């Protein structure tokens, strides 16, 4: 019998070494304030101060958030390797960063069961809805440039944008798109059209007939089509395509050298992991579908685990030359509650409250703030988590529809936080101090079969 847990509200949190979460006071973010009380801290010494570099490094190391005793990266690597044995999953990649250092970024298993090549740190996976954080980040960079505001009206940039309520059409902002607060009644509106190979622009016109459930900005309903209208906003605001902007502003500056967007991007990669689905005879490799690639902001990014390690370093506050601390504070601040995220699997047991930020989810994970997202399209899955109070980032990518690897994330989180161990995985290795058992089946409220999972994990 499980002990009843009192759920606590989400608390303000730090971004890496940069102190407690602070709200921006810029006019461009006034309409989307971070939730929770704000506290400010003095910035860490920089090269422009009188503190010698060696002394500054020593101070930073001494004050860096520590992981709980017993946090063993080698053990997590062994678990990842174990997950690829016995055809449990064809391939998997794991990255862990702490205090701005990459502790591991390795691949396991094979790219394709029919023509196997070993997955390594530069093997490219499809990220599915992990792409949404890239869209939010690009938006923040454009806001910093003055090219956009968070409260910029979408209709001012995309004249053909229409909702069923003309007033609502005029009200939807960039921040509303990126936090799923457009006001649509249905989650994943018109995803089935996209899965049916419909043209993106034709589908966006259907938004004009979609029922509304609230005024924009006031309620949450997860979207892929509406979210991807942000790509049209980028083109109107900058004169350049969304894909080019992400490459120029994020991939190249962060050294994400294997990263790309679109079907052509992954197929032109030097080594990439094919998607796999289950058949009677085991895993079968497929050709990636182009459908959700047409929604580049929602699901268009491809990346290796080495790329994801650099992404984690930046998102935990260690690349301020590219992603400044105030920007990260805005991106990671919950804007709307999402209680449905607390209902399934490890989330049911660990998540005390949940919300959505700008391309990120925000969880209270057993009283510890965690910034999170998951992604799924046919034959690919992935998960990313940031633990600000520990300055920790984790990314897990795999090339199959299996839900089994999802238990690796809470296993790592529990150990990092020093929480009592739970049985999240079923690895047959000696885990006397890390209890593990079967992870939950995927929570697919859309009713789609596992082999038809969309870019919208629920």
The 3 state secondary structure assigned to the chain is CCCCCCCCCCCCCECHHHCECCCCCCHHHCCCCCCCCCCCCCCCCCCCCCCCHHHHHHHHHHHCCCCCCCCCHHHHHHHHHHHCHHHCCCEEEEEEEECCEEEEEEEEEECCCCCCCECCCCCEEECHHHHHHHHHHHHHHHHHHCCCCCCCEHHHHCCCCCCCCHHHHHHCEHHHHHCCCCCECCCCCCHHHHHCCCCHHHHHHHHHHCCECCCCCCCCCCCCHHHHHHHHHHHHHHCCCHHHHHHHHHHHHHCCCCCEEHHHHHHCCCCECCCEEEECCEEEECCCCCCHHHCHHHHCEEEEHHHHHHHHHHHHHHCCCCCCHHHHHHHCCCCEECHHHHCCHHHHHHEEEEEECCCCEEEEECCEEEEEEEEEECCEEEEEEEEHHHCEEEEEEECCCCCHHHHHHHHHHHHHHCCCCCCCCCCCCCCCCCCCCCCCCCCCCCCCCHHHCCCCCC
The count of other CB atoms within 10 Å of the CB of residue 47 is 8
Contact 328, 262 (CB under 8 A): no
Q: For the segment 292-335, what is each residue's pLDDT rounded down to a tens digit? A: 999 999 999 999 999 999 999 999 999 999 999 999 999 999 99
Residues 6+ apart with CB under 8 A from 9: 352, 353, 364
> What pLDDT does 64 receive?
67
> Is the pLDDT assigned to residue 237 strictly greater than 80?
yes
pLDDT, tens digit (0-9, with 9 covering 90-100), for 56-78: 333 344 456 899 999 999 999 99
Give me the percent of the chain exceeding a pLDDT of 90: 76
pTM, rounded to two decimals? 0.84
pLDDT at 261 over 50: yes
d(CA 331, CA 360) in angstroms, rounded, equals 7
Residues in the chain: 458
- Compare 169 and 32 and report the one with higher pLDDT: 169
pLDDT at 141 exceeding the cut of 50: yes
Structure confidence by residue, pLDDT tens digits, 186-224 = 999 999 999 999 999 999 999 999 999 999 999 999 999
Q: How confident is the prediction for the chain on average, in pLDDT?
A: 84
pLDDT of 79 reads 96
Euclidean distance between CA atoms 126 and 275, whole angstroms: 9
User: Is residue 182 within 8 Å of residue 223, measured between CB atoms?
Assistant: yes
State how far the Cα of 383 lies from the Cα of 457, in Å rounded to an integer. 10
Query: 426: pLDDT confidence band, cut at 50, 70 and 90?
Result: confident
Report the C-alpha gap between 149 and 171 in whole angstroms.
14
Cα angle 66-328-9, degrees, rounded to a multiple of 5 = 70
Residue 284, pLDDT > 80, answer yes
How many beta carbons lie within 10 A of that of residue 349, not counting itself?
Answer: 15
For 104-134, what is each residue's pLDDT tens digit?
999 999 999 999 999 999 999 999 999 999 9
Which tens digit of pLDDT belongs to each residue from 331-363?
999 999 999 999 888 999 999 999 999 999 999
**Cα–chain-centroid distance for residue 397?**
11
**What is the per-residue pLDDT for 5?**
43
Share above pLDDT 70 across residues of the chain, in percent, rounded to a whole number: 79
| Better-scored residue on pLDDT, 281 or 15 | 281
- pLDDT tens column, 394-414: 999 999 999 999 999 999 999
Ranges in the chain annotated CATH 3.40.710.10:
73-129+243-279+302-452
> Is 458 a residue whose pLDDT tops 80?
no
Structure tokens belonging to residue 390: 């520990």
pLDDT 10s digits, 368-404: 999 999 999 999 999 999 999 999 999 999 999 999 9
Domain 73-129+243-279+302-452 carries which CATH code? 3.40.710.10
Residue 416 has pLDDT above 90, yes or no: yes
**Does the pLDDT value for residue 21 go beyond 60?**
no
Is there a contact between 301 and 246 (Cβ–Cβ < 8 Å)?
Answer: yes
């Amino acid at each position: 019998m499980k002990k009843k847990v009192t759920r606590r509200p989400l608390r303000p949190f730090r971004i890496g070494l940069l102190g407690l979460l602070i709200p921006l006071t810029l006019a461009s973010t006034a309409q989307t304030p971070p939730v929770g009380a704000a506290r400010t801290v003095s910035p860490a010494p920089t090269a422009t101060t009188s503190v010698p570099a060696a002394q500054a490094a020593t101070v930073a190391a001494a004050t860096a958030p520590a992981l709980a005793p017993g946090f063993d990266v080698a053990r997590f690597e062994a678990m990842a390797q174990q997950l690829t044995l016995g055809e449990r999953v064809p391939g998997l990649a794991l990255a862990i960063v702490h205090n701005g250092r990459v502790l591991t970024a390795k691949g396991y298993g094979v790219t394709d069961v029919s023509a196997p090549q070993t997955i390594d740190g530069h093997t490219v996976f499809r990220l599915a809805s992990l792409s949404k954080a890239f869209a939010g980040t690009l938006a923040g960079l454009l806001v910093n440039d003055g090219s956009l505001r968070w409260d910029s009206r979408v209709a001012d940039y995309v004249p053909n944008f229409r909702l069923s309520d003309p007033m609502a059409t005029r009200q939807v902002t960039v921040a509303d798109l990126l936090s799923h607060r457009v006001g649509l009644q249905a989650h994943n509106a018109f995803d089935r059209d996209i899965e049916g190979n419909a043209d993106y622009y034709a589908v966006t016109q259907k938004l004009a007939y979609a029922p509304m459930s609230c005024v924009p900005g006031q309620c949450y309903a997860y979207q892929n089509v509406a979210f991807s209208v942000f790509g049209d906003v980028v083109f109107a605001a900058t004169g350049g395509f969304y894909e080019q902007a992400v490459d120029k502003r994020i991939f190249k500056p962060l050294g994400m050298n294997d990263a790309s967007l679109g079907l052509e991007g992954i197929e032109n990669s030097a080594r990439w992991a094919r998607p796999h689905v289950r058949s009677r005879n085991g895993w079968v490799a497929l050709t990636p579908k182009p459908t959700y690639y047409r929604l580049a902001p929602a699901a268009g990014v491809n990346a290796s685990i080495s790329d994801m390690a650099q992404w984690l370093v930046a998102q935990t506050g260690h690349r301020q030359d590219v992603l400044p601390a105030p920007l990260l504070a805005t991106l990671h601040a919950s804007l709307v509650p999402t209680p449905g995220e607390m209902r399934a699997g490890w989330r049911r047991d660990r998540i005390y409250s949940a919300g959505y930020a700008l391309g990120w989810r925000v969880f209270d994970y057993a009283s510890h703030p965690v910034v999170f997202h998951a992604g799924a399209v046919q034959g690919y899955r992935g998960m990313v988590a940031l633990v600000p109070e520990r300055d920790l980032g984790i990314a897990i990518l795999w090339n199959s529809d299996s839900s089994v690897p999802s238990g690796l994330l809470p296993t790592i989180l529990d150990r990092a936080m020093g929480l009592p161990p739970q049985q999240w995985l079923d690895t047959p290795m000696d885990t006397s101090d890390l209890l593990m058992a079967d992870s939950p089946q995927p929570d697919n409220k859309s009713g789609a079969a596992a082999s038809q999972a969309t870019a919208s994990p629920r």
